[in-house]
């Protein structure tokens, strides 16, 4: 079976076909064999795992996609530009109004006016030159991420992409292959890995508070119906189109990224297999049917993505992860952020901590707010302690995590350090989404999660986010 068709990989027209138009008959074994063959052909060696590139004293940025996220990341660059660590040298969007808005936004803190690439969907390619930029910052719709990151690296730039960076297995493989061949950084910008609560939990884990970790539950539960239907929010309603044509976990990384840090994934453990199930669909189609727009009403019968997707993932060390995705149902935002160890348990939303006192103790209650505050103070992550004041004084983005993320990216590039997350992390977290779709299509069949690191994952190390930079 032709799961790995390259033809439809990157263009909007064909890419949705790669798994979801194949009705039934998906077999984990044949898919695994095809992926293994692709990995073999790609010649993956793991040589970009601790990649360091020459220091770039002032990182020249080509920003692709100037919508909601692009605009927000411009704000995150304000301080870095003013300090001389970075400069936005090029911007690109197909929508001239967004270009104009971005130009005005950038002019508020940067004297140099970036070169503009607009007018058609391929104009961004002209910005992918080392004469113009060192880093491609990719904030476009999902279907562009892999293509833009590959082109950037091929032309000698580093690539930093919004999430997910890929959503087919071959795209994950191609990204790893390109990063290894070109020795360019390729980072997927998973901002939740820099959130204060997640960093605090990571620090407690590293300091032994949780004992032996066994299980985690994470998610992206965010009612996006209104935004997906709104004709002006996502350009050309790109996000809704994915939900019309794909079924599985389309957005794995906000929940999974932090859990992979907790579990030392690719740094001593790895994700080995998954099974995925989608519920039926009702909430999005009912919302579409309730509009007054005939075009949207017609879409009500076309929604493919189930309301709630649940994926169970196993790791090489025998840990389990429950990962959920739901952007259709009306309910409060939640990433769950649950982690279970032999000595402590944390549940997020709201944050609750349980410290175990042995099997005979019958407390079975979350710590009081006062007792938890002691843990918050004692185990605040050093990265957060170092950057809190700076983050609070500047546009923060999602409570500060976006600022910290951009700070780390640019400062690592300035100093010629390896990045906090490498191409293998982004490729793996994205691959889980692709395989969840394959599993759902195959009636929740078990899918093998292949190793894209050539065995580098077995080398234990502390997560690089703790380095002082
Ligand atoms: N990490 C986060 O917290 C977070 C938050 C929001 C969005 N995102 C991600 O950011 C990305 C963008 O989302 P958004 O909400 O900004 O969407 P958006 O529709 O507001 O912005 C996307 C922009 O890309 C432009 N674009 C599309 N094709 C292009 C092309 N070929 N060349 C140049 N520009 C092109 C569109 O015109 C649009 O302005 C998505 O991947 C999304 O998942 C991440």
- pLDDT tens-digit map of 347-365: 999 999 999 987 766 667 8
Reading the block at residue 265, the tokens are 């994934």
**Ligand 1 atom nearest residue 238's Cα:** 19
Range scoring the smallest mean pLDDT among 44-48, 236-240, 362-366: 362-366
Reading the block at residue 274, the tokens are 């998954």
Q: In this structure, which residue's CA is closest to atom 40 in ligand 1?
A: 141
Range scoring the smallest mean pLDDT among 287-296, 315-324, 379-388, 411-420: 379-388
Rounded to an integer, the average pLDDT of 116-135 is 98
> Ligand 1 centroid vs 164 CA: distance in angstroms?
11
> Ligand 1 centroid vs 459 CA: distance in angstroms?
35
Boundary-marking domain end, from 190, 208, 227 = 190
Euclidean distance between CA atoms 89 and 112, whole angstroms: 8
337 and 450 together in one domain:
yes
Rounded to an integer, the average pLDDT of 92-110 is 97
289 and 383 together in one domain:
yes
User: What is the pLDDT confidence band of residue 412, given thresholds at 50, 70 and 90?
Assistant: very high
Range scoring the smallest mean pLDDT among 159-173, 329-343, 378-392, 418-432: 378-392
- Give residue 398's pLDDT: 75
Q: In this structure, which residue's CA is closest to atom 3 in ligand 1?
A: 191
- Give residue 390's pLDDT: 85
Whole-structure pTM value: 0.94
Boundary-marking domain end, from 123, 156, 190 = 190
> Ligand 1 centroid vs 211 CA: distance in angstroms?
40
Q: Is residue 1 exposed (0-12), middle (13-18) or buried (19+ Cβ within 10 Å)?
A: exposed
CATH number of the domain residue 109 falls in:
3.40.50.720
What is the span of the domain harbouring residue 411? 193-466
Rounded to an integer, the average pLDDT of 152-177 is 98
Site to probe by mutation for ligand 1, drawn from 13, 69, 71, 228 as the one with most ligand atoms within 8 Å of Cβ, is 69
139 and 268 together in one domain:
no
- Give residue 16's pLDDT: 34
Q: Is the pLDDT of residue 5 over 70?
A: no
310 and 438 together in one domain:
yes
- 85 or 26, which is more confident: 85
Q: Is the pLDDT of residue 22 over 70?
A: no
**Ligand 1 atom nearest residue 66's Cα:** 39
Euclidean distance between CA atoms 239 and 255, whole angstroms: 19
**Ligand 1 atom nearest residue 397's Cα:** 3
Q: Is residue 151 part of a domain?
A: yes
133 and 217 together in one domain:
no
Closest CA to 201 of 380, 323, 386, 463: 380
320 and 375 together in one domain:
yes
Q: Is residue 35 part of a domain?
A: no
> Ligand 1 centroid vs 240 CA: distance in angstroms?
13
For residues 309 and 184, is the Cβ–Cβ distance under 8 A? Answer: no
166 and 198 together in one domain:
no
92 and 106 together in one domain:
yes
- pLDDT, averaged across the chain: 93
Euclidean distance between CA atoms 221 and 254, whole angstroms: 10
334 and 445 together in one domain:
yes
Reading the block at residue 25, the tokens are 């008959």
Q: Is residue 32 part of a domain?
A: no
By percentage, how much of the chain surpasses pLDDT 70?
Answer: 93
- Give residue 29's pLDDT: 83
288 and 407 together in one domain:
yes
Q: Is residue 38 part of a domain?
A: no
- pLDDT tens-digit map of 242-279: 999 999 999 999 999 999 999 999 999 999 999 999 99
Q: Is residue 441 part of a domain?
A: yes
Rounded to an integer, the average pLDDT of 89-112 is 97
Residue whose pair of structure tokens reads 């292959």 in the numeric block: 177
For residues 371 and 228, is the Cβ–Cβ distance under 8 A? Answer: no
Q: Is the pLDDT of residue 27 over 50?
A: yes
Boundary-marking domain end, from 126, 157, 190 = 190
Q: In this structure, which residue's CA is closest to atom 34 in ligand 1?
A: 93
Residue whose pair of structure tokens reads 């890929």 in the numeric block: 166
Site to probe by mutation for ligand 1, drawn from 97, 139, 243, 403 as the one with most ligand atoms within 8 Å of Cβ, is 139
Determine phi and psi for 352, rounding to 5 degrees.
-135, 140
CATH number of the domain residue 223 falls in:
3.30.360.10
How many domains are there within the chain? 2
Euclidean distance between CA atoms 351 and 323, whole angstroms: 18
Q: Which residues line ligand 1 (CB under 6 A)?
A: 64-70, 92-95, 98, 121, 124, 139-142, 144, 162-163, 191, 234-235, 238, 398
Q: In this structure, which residue's CA is closest to atom 15 in ligand 1?
A: 68
Reading the block at residue 24, the tokens are 């039934």
172 and 257 together in one domain:
no
Rounded to an integer, the average pLDDT of 456-462 is 96
- Give residue 8's pLDDT: 32
- Give residue 104's pLDDT: 98
Rounded to an integer, the average pLDDT of 362-379 is 91
- Give residue 28's pLDDT: 81
Rounded to an integer, the average pLDDT of 27-38 is 88
Q: Is residue 39 part of a domain?
A: no
Q: Is the pLDDT of residue 9 over 90?
A: no
Euclidean distance between CA atoms 142 and 16, whole angstroms: 12
254 and 167 together in one domain:
no
Q: Is residue 446 part of a domain?
A: yes
Assign 3-class secondary structure to the chain: CCCCCCCCCCCHHHHCCCCCCCCCCCCHHHHHHHHHHHHHHHCCCCCCCCCCCCCCCCEEEEEECCCHHHHHHHHHHHHHHHCCCEEEEEEECCCHHHHHHHHHHHHCCCCCCCEEECCCCCHHHHHCCCCCCCEEEECCCHHHHHHHHHHHHHCCCEEEECCCCCCCHHHHHHHHHHHHHHCCCEEECCHHHHCHHHHHHHHHHHCCCCCCEEEEEEEEECCCHHHHHCCCCCHHHHHHHHHHHCCCCCCCHHHHHHHHHHCCECCCECEEEEEEEECCCCHHHHHHHCCCCHHHHHHHHHCCCCCCEEEEEEECCCCEEEEEEECCCCCCCECCCEEEECCEEEECCCCEEEECCCCCCCCCCCCCHHHHHHHHHHHCCHHHHHHHHHHHHCCCCHHHHHHHHHHHHHHHHHHCCCCCCCHHHHHHHHHHHHHHHHHHHCCCCCEECCCCCCCHHHCCCCCHHHCCC
> Ligand 1 centroid vs 331 CA: distance in angstroms?
24
Q: Is residue 80 part of a domain?
A: yes
């Amino acid at each position: 079976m032709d799961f790995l068709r390259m033809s439809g990989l990157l263009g909007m027209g064909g890419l949705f076909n790669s798994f979801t138009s194949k009705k039934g008959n998906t077999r984990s074994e044949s898919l695994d064999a095809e992926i293994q063959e692709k990995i073999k052909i790609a010649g993956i060696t793991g040589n970009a795992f601790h990649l360091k590139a020459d220091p770039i004293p002032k990182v020249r940025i080509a920003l692709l996609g100037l919508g909601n996220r692009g605009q927000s990341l411009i704000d995150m660059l304000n301080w870095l530009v003013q300090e001389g660590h970075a400069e936005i040298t090029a911007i690109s969007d197909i929508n001239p109004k967004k270009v104009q808005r971005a130009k005005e936004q950038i002019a508020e803190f940067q004297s140099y006016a970036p070169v503009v690439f607009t007018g058609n969907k391929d104009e961004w390619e002209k910005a992918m030159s080392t004469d113009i930029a060192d880093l491609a910052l990719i904030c476009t719709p999902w279907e562009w991420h892999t293509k833009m990151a590959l082109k950037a690296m091929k032309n000698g730039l580093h690539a930093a992409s919004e999430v997910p960076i890929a959503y087919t297995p071959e795209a994950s493989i191609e990204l790893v292959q390109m990063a290894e061949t070109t020795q360019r950084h390729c980072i997927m910008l998973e901002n939740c890995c820099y959130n204060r609560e997640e960093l605090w939990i990571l620090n407690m884990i590293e300091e032994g508070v949780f004992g032996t970790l066994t299980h985690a539950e994470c998610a992206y539960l965010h009612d996006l119906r209104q935004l997906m239907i709104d004709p002006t929010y996502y350009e050309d309603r790109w996000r809704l189109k994915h939900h019309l044509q794909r079924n599985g976990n389309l957005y794995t990384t906000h929940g999974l990224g932090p859990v992979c840090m907790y579990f030392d994934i690719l740094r001593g453990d790895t994700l080995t297999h998954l099974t995925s199930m989608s519920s039926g669909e009702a909430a999005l189609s009912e919302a579409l049917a309730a509009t007054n727009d005939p075009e949207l009403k017609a879409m009500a019968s076309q929604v493919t993505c189930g309301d709630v997707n649940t994926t169970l993932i196993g790791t090489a060390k025998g840990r389990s992860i429950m990962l959920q995705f739901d952007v259709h149902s009306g309910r409060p935002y939640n990433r769950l952020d649950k982690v279970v160890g032999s000595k402590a348990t944390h549940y997020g939303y709201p944050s609750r901590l349980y410290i175990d006192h042995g099997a005979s103790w019958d407390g079975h209650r979350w710590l009081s707010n006062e007792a938890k505050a002691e843990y918050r103070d004692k185990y605040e992550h050093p990265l957060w302690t170092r950057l809190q004041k700076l983050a609070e004084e500047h546009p923060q983005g999602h409570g500060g995590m976006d600022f910290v993320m951009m700070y780390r990216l640019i400062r690592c590039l300035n100093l010629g350090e390896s990045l906090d997350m490498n191409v293998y992390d982004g490729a793996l977290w994205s691959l889980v989404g692709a395989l969840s779709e394959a599993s759902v299509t195959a009636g929740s069949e078990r899918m093998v999660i292949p190793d894209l690191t050539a065995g580098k994952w077995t080398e234990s190390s502390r997560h690089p986010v703790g380095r002082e930079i």
